[in-house]
Amino acid sequence: MKRRTFLAGAGVATGLGLSTPAYAQKRYRWKLVSTWTPNLPILQDAAVLFADRVEKASGKRLRIKVFGAGELIPALGVFDAVSSGSIEMGVSSPYYWAGKAAAAPLFATRPFGLPAQQHRAWIRADGIKLWRSLYADFNLVPFPFGDTGPQMAGWFNKEIRTTADLKGLKMRIPGIAAQVMAEAGSNVVLMPGGEIYTALERNTIDATEWVSPFLDERMGLYRAAKYYYSPGWHEPCSTLELMINKAKWEKLPNDLRAIVESVAREVDAWTLARFEQENGPALARLLEKHKVELRSLPAPVLKKLMQITKDVIAGMAASDPMAKKVETSYSRFRASARAWSDIGEYAMAQALRLK
């Protein structure tokens, strides 16, 4: 009789929507793999910060163990591992997956494209729906997971004076920019960050882009290359990603999903802020302490790369239906935002140069 009374009471409690005590709720133990090397500042820090915040916010109901590149799987094996469900979560950049989905790099950045704040606004407004539609075919749910802000054109052991200097250049560069450089006559190489320094030092490659002053200095690229070129035409921003196995995500309780989404947004903002904090002092050290030779790509070279970029993206849109949808959405947003950008940030930047 007491047992029946207890069960009846439990039924009433459930019917009233009373929550199950925390100690009785199911707990989850997930793995997160990253494209970034272990202990890489900011990028890998973001993954560790995310896991720590989720664990605390969930009362340890969702605990995430983080693995850097090579600790569990190869750096560029993240997409397949999470897609298959062998790993629950991954952190990377969409521009690594052009070979799997032609439109994927468009969610990270595009040469001569929007700056970080506008790209992020497009992602939040319309891009995320397209991004999730694309990744659903691979059993993945993506989330924006930070941005590097503007990058540098990269490190070169050969001077770039004219477009002819791009021909035969062996350069590590990913994403849409890789297609652009290939069209310009360069020999493009795709490799994870952990392999860049050795390749540049041993002349396996002539040039590389990586990120921006802070991480470039940390990698010691100033010891392996002579010239540091700007501007970062290929990545005016670089949106990073958290991807979650779709089947695992759908089995997660709603409150834990809300925690994951909230923490991902927090880390998204944290990452860009950290790059903004560190890049200025790092650039000063590169120039003053390490005596780096800073160069600007000549205007004719930039114009050539810009024209090739337009052709490459037009070709992507013509050959891939999803790329066309993304390009249409992006172009519409860019057109609507440009007038404000010109009289807002651009005009202010010009004013600050007045003497």
What is the per-residue pLDDT across 79-127, written as a single tens digit (0 to 9) for each? 999 999 999 999 999 999 999 999 999 999 999 999 999 999 999 999 9
Distance CA 275, CA 213 (A): 9
The confidence band for 10, taking pLDDT boundaries of 50, 70 and 90, is very low
Q: Tally the residues of the chain.
A: 355
**pLDDT band (50, 70, 90) for residue 7:** very low
User: What is the rounded CA–CA span in Å between residue 308 and residue 179?
Assistant: 9
**Bridge partners, 142 (sequence order):** 243
Mean pLDDT of the chain: 93
pTM given for the model: 0.89
Question: DSSP secondary-structure letter at 19?
Answer: P
List C-alpha distances in Å: 228 to 68, 216, 295: 28, 10, 6
Of 81, 73, 136, which Cα lies nearest the Cα of 104? 136
The structure tokens listed for 275 are 């790059």
CA nearest to 41, candidates 192, 150, 148: 148
> What gap in Å lies between CA 184 and CA 222, rounded to an integer?
25
- Which residues, including other chains, have CB under 8 Å from residue 112's CB and lie 6 or more apart? 233, 236, 305, 306, 309
Question: What angle, 0 to 180 degrees and rounded to 10, lies between the N-to-C axes of helices 321-341 and 299-319?
Answer: 140
Q: What is the pLDDT of residues 145-202, one digit of tens each?
A: 999 999 999 999 999 999 999 999 999 999 999 999 999 999 999 888 889 999 999 9
Per-residue pLDDT reduced to its tens digit, 264-311: 999 999 999 999 999 999 999 999 999 999 999 999 999 999 999 999
CB-based contacts of 227, cutoff 8 Å, min separation 6:
155, 156, 157, 158, 159, 160, 293, 295
Q: Which amino acid is at 10?
A: A
Task: Identify whether the C-beta of residue 157 lies closer than 8 Å to the C-beta of residue 220.
Answer: no
Confidence of residue 22 (pLDDT cuts 50, 70, 90): low
Q: Which 8-state DSSP code applies to residue 65?
A: E
Give the list of residues 6+ apart from residue 50 with CB closer than 8 angstroms, or none.
32, 64, 91, 145, 242, 263, 264, 267
In the Cβ-directed half-sphere of 342, how many Cα atoms lie within 13 Å?
A: 6
- Which tokens go with 229? 């070129």
pLDDT for 187:
97
∠ CA 267-271-273, nearest 5°, is 115
Residue among 91, 105, 79 nearest 44 (CA): 91
Task: Give the number of other Cβ atoms within 10 Å of residue 116's Cβ.
Answer: 21
| pLDDT for position 339 | 87
pLDDT at 355 over 80: no
Instruction: HSE, CB side, 13 Å, CA atoms: give it for residue 85.
Output: 7
Give the model confidence (pLDDT) of 275-285 as tens digits. 999 999 999 99
Please report, as a single letter, which amino acid is at residue 5.
Answer: T
Please, are residues 162 and 301 in contact by the beta-carbon 8 Å criterion? Answer: yes
Rg (Cα) of the chain, in Å, rounded? 23
Confidence of residue 24 (pLDDT cuts 50, 70, 90): low
Domains of the chain: 27-147+238-277 (3.40.190.170), 154-236+279-320 (3.40.190.10)
Neighbouring C-beta atoms of residue 28, cutoff 10 Å? 17
DSSP of 124-145: IIIIHHHHHHHHHTTTEEEEEE
